[in-house]
Structure 1
Amino acid sequence: MKTKLEQGALKVLQKLTQQGFQAYLVGGCVRDQQLRRAVKDYDIATSAHPAQVVELFERTIPTGLQHGTVSVIMDGNLYEVTTFRKEADYEQFRRPAEVEFIDSLEEDLKRRDFTMNAMALDAAGMLIDPFGGLADLAQGSLRCVGNASERFTEDALRMLRCIRFSSEYELQIEGGTWQALCKHASLLKHIALERVRMELERMIAGANPLKAIGLLAASGMLLEAKQPLRLAQLDRLRTAEPINQLKAPTERWSFLYIAMGMNASETEADMRSLTFSKAQIKAVCAVVAAAYKLVDAAADVDLLNRVNRHELSLEHELEPIWKRTVLRYGKEALQLLGKVLAVDPKVLEHLSLPSQVVSLFIQHGEAWLNELEIDRLEQLRVDGKQLLTHIHHAPGPWLAEVLQFLLHEVALGRLSNETDALIAEAVMFVENSKSSESGTQHEY
């Protein structure tokens, strides 16, 4: 049963062939069909020139006319239709300076990166495979089309794609292809960090990030990026094995930076260099910062000795530490950190967090999260305007400090979240601390 997406692609093929042009499905859609994987998009190669494609179809978008590509809209779906072409004189190890339109499918396939991506299907479903891509897939091998050094020097991004494909499709990189990749790893300095980040994101979110990390470390490729990346120091990883047990990309990135010993500031700098979005940086850095906060808060050098002397309960001491960290960095950050600790309890070992402490965080963390009556300022049944009517001070930093104090007292179960009680506690706090005059800062 063909999907609507595939049916639309075949309509495009049929319309082109009915007008006397050659037309084939090419690239990733052919590869994924042969592997019985879901196809996300269909690309089409044709002997028709861009102007002819535009004239033939009712709805088109001039995606990249200079490179022969027109996007055709068929039945509500978008299909990239590209004229058979040869490429020459690549610029800056990334893009061809010259594109020549041709009439040969095989010549067009010859310019592609890997044999598994250099296959085509005609409208009748016949496979055209001049470079042995299907045999390579059957053997679990990832191999460049033709000379691997030429393919990587034409477009250095292909080296990262090689590692991504190897990890995603569980393929062994063919010997000559791997040797060429390692030989030309220094060419990564010509690739924009945005493109590097996009490939890394796909690797870490993919089927086997552990394999991708191993190949990146073995090649040393990230050491050659445009800017120094802390992520390139993959030899600092004690182990990366637990990463495959984590599901969400944020969990995996958080694990990776924590396991490499990066604090929140270092993590943020690295992710900014790699052009991650503000939301992604915020989410990962919150998890990393929360991990370091737990370590710092639990770093009382006499804590375990006091527990051993039965002067206190370790669980009793750690509960408020965990909850205060939730209030500072958010529930989601602590939930994600809990998942990271669950798959690798030793991930904070390099920061000297005792195993007893980690074990209790893993054992009770989720329950402590659920016990919190509130965890955000907006859940307080009082706001700054109400406090100003009862505390006769000019607005200033003291107000935020009072609200944070109230949040912690309610969250830790020491104060009722009732307006009158909150106002009374706020008045007492200001009178006792005189924080508005002294500027004293409190740690919550």
Structure 2
Amino acid sequence: MKGIMEQGAYTVLTKLQKQGYEAYLVGGCVRDKQLHRPVKDYDIATSAKPEQVLDLFERTIPTGLQHGTVTVVLGAHHYEVTTFRKEAAYEQFRRPAEVQFIDSLHEDLQRRDFTMNAMALDQHGNLIDPFGGLADMEHGLLRCVGDASERFTEDALRMLRCIRFSAEYGLEVEAATWKALCEHSLLLKHIAMERVRMELERMIAGADPVKALGLLVSSGILRETKQALKLAQLNPQHMPAAIHLLLESDARWTYLFLSIGLNAAEIEADMRVLTFSVDQIKRVYKAAAAFYMLREGLLLNQDEYVQEPALEKKLEHLWKLGALTYGKAAWLTIYNILAVEPRWMESHGITVEAGSIVLSRGKEWLDALIVDSLKQLQVGGKELLAHMNNKSPGPWVTEVLNHLLQETALGRLPNETCLLIAEAEQFVKYHNL
């Protein structure tokens, strides 16, 4: 039984055909239906020209008229309808210099990247598969349409798509396709870092990120990006083997970067080069910085923390202080990584015992924090100034508030205004602020 979105797609097909135009479902929706996977969207190829599509449907969006694409809106669903086309020489190994509208479905499918993406369905659900895409999928192969070198030199981003599709669909890259990918990997220098990031994000969020990372490493393609990436240092010995078990994107990226051995500043720099959002960079940076705070705190005078009681006390102290510095979310990210790979910290010089304690007590320690931000303190800057003999505002206010936050969070000072003021007065006097 067809769902509402699929019914809408066939409605578009039928309307085009009643006006004398050819129309077919194409691309990812056809591939995913053959594999019995959920279909995210439906694309349609037609012999109708863009202006004819615009005239035929009531609600349309002129998405990319120069490339023959019109978005047809039916109810809550959008359908990209694109005129059959062939593409002239490509510019900068990414975009066609010219698009020519044609009347042949076969020629339209022939310009596509991989055989599994070069299939079509007619209005009766009959499969049109001129390049053997279904057979390739049944044999577990990912293969370019026609000559692989031509496909990759037309659009170098297809090399990253090749790796992503191979991992996501559990396919082996056909030998000639893989050979062409490795030979032409240097063409990735022509691809914007934003597009590289988008493909990498989909790989890391996908069904088998370990396989995707393995293919990136074996091809060496990450060494060929337009701007250099520390991420390219990944090797088989430091593969984040449990990354697929993590549910959150931030945790997967943190785990990947830390597995390579990058510090927080290097991670931030790589993510900036890859055009990640400011918010996600901050979150991953904080998680990495929190981890290194824990690591350095344990490695400092580590002989003092050999026995479990002393080690647990030290870990709790570092864990809670880190939550105040970098936020609870950062520590939950580290906790989640440890939960899927309990021995992960060993490779960073942190003992199995320490990891085990964190895994058993980490969430409890976070829950036990009485306060974890300055906003939760029962005293603020104005109250401090009022009780400090009219001292002038300055950096000392922040220093005192941070001290009060730490003492309260660690359970050494009740979160009560009068006691916080008293402690502040003592702190200012003792430190001569």
TM-score of the aligned structures, taking structure 2 as reference length = 0.97
Residue 104 of structure 2 is matched in structure 1 by: 104
Q: Distance in 2 between matches of 1:83 and 1:237?
A: 48
Q: Distance in 2 between matches of 1:306 and 1:325?
A: 18
CA-CA distance at 1:239 after TM superposition: 3.1
Worse-matched range after superposition: 149-158 or 342-351? 342-351
CA-CA distance at 1:341 after TM superposition: 2.0
Residue 409 of structure 2 is matched in structure 1 by: 411
Residue 429 of structure 1 is matched in structure 2 by: 427
Q: What is the CA deviation profile of residues 362-382 of structure 1, one whole-angstrom value per residue up to 9, with x for unaligned ones?
A: 221111111111111111111
Residue 90 of structure 2 is matched in structure 1 by: 90
CA-CA distance at 1:306 after TM superposition: 5.8
User: What amino acid sits opposite 1:42 in the alignment?
Assistant: Y
Do 1:237 and 1:259's aligned partners in 2 also have CA atoms closer than 8 Å? Answer: no
Q: Distance in 1 between matches of 2:143 and 2:290?
A: 43
Secondary structure of 2:97's aligned partner: strand
CA-CA distance at 1:182 after TM superposition: 0.6
Q: Distance in 2 between matches of 1:249 and 1:281?
A: 12
Residue 179 of structure 2 is matched in structure 1 by: 179
Q: What is the CA deviation profile of residues 266-314 of structure 1, one whole-angstrom value per residue up to 9, with x for unaligned ones?
A: 000000000000011011111110010001111223x335645x9x622
Do 1:27 and 1:43's aligned partners in 2 also have CA atoms closer than 8 Å? Answer: yes
Q: 1:397 aligns with which of 395, 398, 411?
A: 395
Do 2:255 and 2:337's aligned partners in 1 also have CA atoms closer than 8 Å? Answer: yes
Q: Distance in 2 between matches of 1:46 and 1:182?
A: 35
Do 2:214 and 2:236's aligned partners in 1 also have CA atoms closer than 8 Å? Answer: no
Q: What is the CA deviation profile of residues 417-439 of structure 1, one whole-angstrom value per residue up to 9, with x for unaligned ones?
A: 1111111111111111123xxxx
Q: What is the CA deviation profile of residues 344-377 of structure 1, one whole-angstrom value per residue up to 9, with x for unaligned ones?
A: 3443444422333222222211111111111111
Question: Using a 3 Å threshold, how does the CA distance of structure 1 residues 168 and 236 change in structure 2: closer, same or farther?
Answer: closer
Unaligned runs of 5+ in 1: 436-444
CA-CA distance at 1:236 after TM superposition: 7.2
Runs of 4+ in 1 over 6 A off after TM superposition: none
Do 1:291 and 1:337's aligned partners in 2 also have CA atoms closer than 8 Å? Answer: yes
Secondary structure of 2:344's aligned partner: coil
CA-CA distance at 1:122 after TM superposition: 1.0
User: What amino acid sits opposite 1:379 in the alignment?
Assistant: Q
Question: Using a 3 Å threshold, how does the CA distance of structure 1 residues 62 and 76 change in structure 2: closer, same or farther?
Answer: same
Residue 350 of structure 2 is matched in structure 1 by: 353
Residue 241 of structure 1 is matched in structure 2 by: 241
Do 2:305 and 2:314's aligned partners in 1 also have CA atoms closer than 8 Å? Answer: no
CA RMSD of aligned residues (A): 1.4
Worse-matched range after superposition: 374-383 or 237-246? 237-246
Structure 2 matches for 1:346-385, cutoff 5 A?
A: 346-385=343-382
Secondary structure of 1:375's aligned partner: coil
Q: Distance in 2 between matches of 1:289 and 1:428?
A: 32
Worse-matched range after superposition: 334-343 or 180-189? 334-343
User: What amino acid sits opposite 1:426 in the alignment?
Assistant: A
Q: Distance in 2 between matches of 1:107 and 1:397?
A: 70
Question: Using a 3 Å threshold, how does the CA distance of structure 1 residues 6 and 306 change in structure 2: closer, same or farther?
Answer: closer
Q: What is the CA deviation profile of residues 196-237 of structure 1, one whole-angstrom value per residue up to 9, with x for unaligned ones?
A: 000000000000000000000000001000011000111275
Residue 327 of structure 1 is matched in structure 2 by: 324
Secondary structure of 1:2's aligned partner: coil
Do 1:205 and 1:249's aligned partners in 2 also have CA atoms closer than 8 Å? Answer: yes
Worse-matched range after superposition: 126-135 or 267-276? 126-135
Q: Distance in 1 between matches of 2:299 and 2:240?
A: 26
Residue 53 of structure 2 is matched in structure 1 by: 53
Worse-matched range after superposition: 159-168 or 343-352? 343-352
CA-CA distance at 1:75 after TM superposition: 1.7
Secondary structure of 2:89's aligned partner: strand
Worse-matched range after superposition: 353-362 or 111-120? 353-362
Unaligned runs of 5+ in 2: none
CA-CA distance at 1:3 after TM superposition: 1.4
Do 2:71 and 2:81's aligned partners in 1 also have CA atoms closer than 8 Å? Answer: yes
Structure 2 matches for 1:16-415, cutoff 5 A?
A: 16-235=16-235, 237-301=237-301, 303-305=302-304, 307-308=306-307, 313-391=310-388, 392-415=390-413
Do 1:258 and 1:348's aligned partners in 2 also have CA atoms closer than 8 Å? Answer: no
Q: Distance in 1 between matches of 2:262 and 2:212?
A: 20
Q: Distance in 1 between matches of 2:2 and 2:380?
A: 58
Worse-matched range after superposition: 255-264 or 355-364? 355-364
Question: What is the total number of aligned residue pairs between the two structures?
Answer: 432
Do 1:258 and 1:347's aligned partners in 2 also have CA atoms closer than 8 Å? Answer: no
Do 2:304 and 2:310's aligned partners in 1 also have CA atoms closer than 8 Å? Answer: no
Q: What is the CA deviation profile of residues 110-163 of structure 1, one whole-angstrom value per residue up to 9, with x for unaligned ones?
A: 000001100101111111111111111111111111111110000000000000
Do 1:381 and 1:418's aligned partners in 2 also have CA atoms closer than 8 Å? Answer: yes
Question: Using a 3 Å threshold, how does the CA distance of structure 1 residues 169 and 236 change in structure 2: closer, same or farther?
Answer: closer
Q: Distance in 2 between matches of 1:122 and 1:214?
A: 38
CA-CA distance at 1:77 after TM superposition: 1.4
